[in-house]
Amino acid sequence: MFVLSSLFRLLSLAAVLLVLAPAAHAQNGDRRGQRLGQLENAKIAFITNRVSLTQDQAQKFWPLYNEFSTRRRELNRSGRLLRRDVTEGMTDPQIRDNFTQAFNMRQQELNLEKEYFDKFQKVISLRQVVQLFQAERDFTKEVIKRVAGGGGQPAIDTN
């Protein structure tokens, strides 16, 4: 499960990089929104292909996955805010409380992963669930590689 938790942190990093990289070059918000839309479409195609979703599976899977992604994003955002709150002026009890909250947040992430692991198996096979998590990792690696390399290509090979 540590791997999944690390994956979600990596996905969060990729999302931040994707927001910042185009924003640095964009003249307006339209371009950034367009690039994020392209990225989301590429992710959908990438996962659909990698997991070999049938049309029936896709109709059941994507609303569930989107719900999972939204909840995961909210938890990650809250976790980032907690980490940002640690300052030099904090007392030891305040620092301890901050860490306790951060640990609770990570536990919530783990609980979310377990909850959706079970939910995903109701609409796709166990092997497909494994392929899903691998596809997310591979997609994130590819995005980070392209952002770091300055490739800036909006489409990601879905094969």
Which of 70, 37, 64, 42 has the alpha carbon at shortest distance from 129? 64
Q: What is the model's pLDDT at position 158? A: 55
Q: For 59-107, write each residue's pLDDT tens digit.
A: 999 999 999 999 999 998 888 777 776 678 888 898 888 888 888 999 9
> pLDDT confidence of 13, banded at 50, 70, 90?
very low
Alpha-carbon span 21 to 67, nearest angstrom: 26
Q: What is the model's pLDDT at position 68? A: 97
Q: For 123-137, write each residue's pLDDT tens digit.
A: 999 999 999 999 999
Q: For 14-32, write each residue's pLDDT tens digit.
A: 443 344 444 444 455 688 8
Q: What is the model's pLDDT at position 18? A: 41
**Ramachandran category for residue 124: left, alpha or beta (phi over 0 → left; psi -120 to 50 → alpha):** beta
Q: What average pLDDT does this structure show over 38-51?
A: 93
> pLDDT confidence of 151, banded at 50, 70, 90?
low
Alpha-carbon span 21 to 36, nearest angstrom: 11
Q: For 77-87, write each residue's pLDDT tens digit.
A: 888 777 776 67
Burial class (CB in 10 A: 0-12, 13-18, 19+), 101: middle
Q: What is the model's pLDDT at position 91? A: 87
DSSP state of 27: S
Alpha-carbon span 5 to 79, nearest angstrom: 12
DSSP code string of 112-127: HHHHHHHHHHTTS-HH
Q: What is the model's pLDDT at position 2? A: 41
Q: What predicted TM-score, i.e. pTM, was given to this entire model?
A: 0.69
The residues near 38 (Cβ < 8 Å, ≥ 6 apart) are 154, 155
